[in-house]
Amino acid sequence: MKSIVQTNPKPTAERTAPQEFVAPVVNIFETDDGYALEAEMPGVNKDGLEITLEGNEITIVGRRAPVRVSGTLLFRDRSTADFRRVFELDPAIDTSKISAKMEQGVLTLGLPKSERVKPRRIAVSD
């Protein structure tokens, strides 16, 4: 019997199980100029990267580039899940100047502090 309510209008190819993510491991450093964040996302290239900024929160999503491998799987310990992690930003960060670089599966975010909070040397007048 045909159902009146169409529950899933999407074609089969687009329909996927609820998205699962793994959190990428990160290193975070602070210097006088700002912060640097490195996130390991092997198998993700520039095109698979989505970085969104919402208020004080930065969300990093990395989607693995599809790899076509023929044959049967003998052994597996890699995860196939995409990467996602959210960070709260220090209000001192100038969000308009955030930079991102992707190199061999490692994302490096440059999070510079705004000029007003940078340590400054004050010249002393005579």
Partner 1 sequence: MNLTRYQKPDLSWTSFGRLSSLRDELDRLFESPWAELARTSQLWSGWTPALDIHEDKDNFTVHAELPGMKREEIDVSLHDGALSISGERKAEKKFEAAEVYRTERFFGKFQRTVTLPAPVAADKVKAQYQDGILTITLPKTEAAKPKQIEVNVN
- Which stretches of the chain bind partner 1, using CB under 8 A? 16-17, 20, 22-31, 35-36, 38, 40-45, 65, 67, 69-79, 81, 103-106
Distance CA 45, CA 30 (A): 26
What's the closest the beta carbon of residue 123 comes to partner 1, in angstroms? 25
Nearer to partner 1, 19 or 52 (CB): 19
| 110, 29 contact by CB (below 8 A) | no
What's the closest the beta carbon of residue 58 comes to partner 1, in angstroms? 14
| 62, 48 contact by CB (below 8 A) | yes
What's the closest the beta carbon of residue 18 comes to partner 1, in angstroms? 8
| 52, 59 contact by CB (below 8 A) | yes
Distance CA 10, CA 21 (A): 22
Nearer to partner 1, 1 or 18 (CB): 18
Q: What's the DSSP call for residue 13?
A: T
Nearer to partner 1, 29 or 126 (CB): 29
What's the closest the beta carbon of residue 126 comes to partner 1, in angstroms? 34
